[in-house]
Structure 1
Amino acid sequence: MSGSEPLVGIVLVSHSARVAEAVADLARGLAAGGPVAPLAAAGGTAEGGLGTSADLIVAAAMAVDRGAGVALLADLGSSVLTVKSLLAEEELPAGARLVDAPFLEGAVSALVTASAGAPLEAVVASAAEAYGYRKA
């Protein structure tokens, strides 16, 4: 990849702002060593409580969109449903995709892959492959 091509953006959607930010910080730290793809956390409600905010998700997706697609990883329940609803209503950038992947491992894998300049399909596949990571 040449330096002029846009990188896939990534949004981490969690019920908790602290969880989303912590996973984003960990992923950034592990992907360091070169250019890091745009990454945003969209956690909690607009008032700072636990929950999911469509407005925060849309703002995060717009902030990381560079024209190469946006991969959204959601933790559970209503965060998944909210992203699906935003996709169905076409409120997210063109090329936005909900990724079926474990939240933490998928986020790290997606960010490392996106930072290497991979296209959206490869970022999605890399994050999904994180389901296969075995710890024992």
Structure 2
Amino acid sequence: MTVAILIVSHSVDVARGTAEMARRTAGPDLAIGWTGGNPAGGLGTSMGAIAEQLDAIWGPDGVAILVDVGGAETNSEMAVEEMAPDKAKRVRICQAPLVEGAIMAAAEAASGGTLDQVVSAAEEVMRG
């Protein structure tokens, strides 16, 4: 198993495109989920959709979540809080730019990195 990646954006197109870029970096075997937009099809995020994606890609090595702006992070935090505690402790929200962070996280996950290493790789983009 490897660390899974979840992309959360206010835009369905940004989420899907970022996930595709990460998948092309990491290869087809890495579990990459994405969700974007609100339930009405506009801009926004949905805690329910995030929770569904977390369940879909969950693995014992954990999940690194990458978000675009405020509400995406808040809804991701709420979705993680709803998870069973043993699973929730294996989910981390990265403080990284969405696209660049997702690509770095996917590359690290594909190479067998731990959850801490995947998060660190994503966040390294912010440190320069």
Same fold (TM over 0.5): yes
Which residue in the other structure is 1:131 paired with?
Answer: 126
Which residue in the other structure is 1:22 paired with?
Answer: 17
- The aligned amino acid for 1:20 is A
Q: Partners of 2:79 and 2:20 in 1: how far apart? A: 25
Quick one: percent identity of the two aligned structures?
36
Please list every run of 5 or more consecutive structure 2 residues that lacks an aligned counterpart in the other structure.
Answer: none
Which residue in the other structure is 1:37 paired with?
Answer: 30
Q: Where do residues 1-136 of structure 1 align in structure 2 (5 Å cutoff)? A: 6-32=1-27, 36-90=29-83, 93-94=87-88, 95-133=90-128
Q: Secondary structure at the match of 1:11?
A: strand
- The aligned amino acid for 2:51 is V
CA-based RMSD: 1.7
> For residues 91 and 72 of structure 1, do their structure 2 counterparts lie closer, same or farther at Cα, with a shift above 3 Å needed?
farther
Structure showing greater Rg: 1
TM value normalised by structure 2: 0.89
Provide Cα deviations, 1:16-72, integer angstroms capped at 9, x if missing partner: 11110001111112233xx64200111112332211111110111111112110111
Q: Partners of 1:23 and 1:101 in 2: how far apart? A: 13
* Conserved 8 A contact 2:47-2:78: no
CA positional deviation for 1:81? 1.0
- The aligned amino acid for 1:132 is R
> For residues 42 and 81 of structure 1, do their structure 2 counterparts lie closer, same or farther at Cα, with a shift above 3 Å needed?
same
- The aligned amino acid for 1:64 is I
* Conserved 8 A contact 1:16-1:51: yes
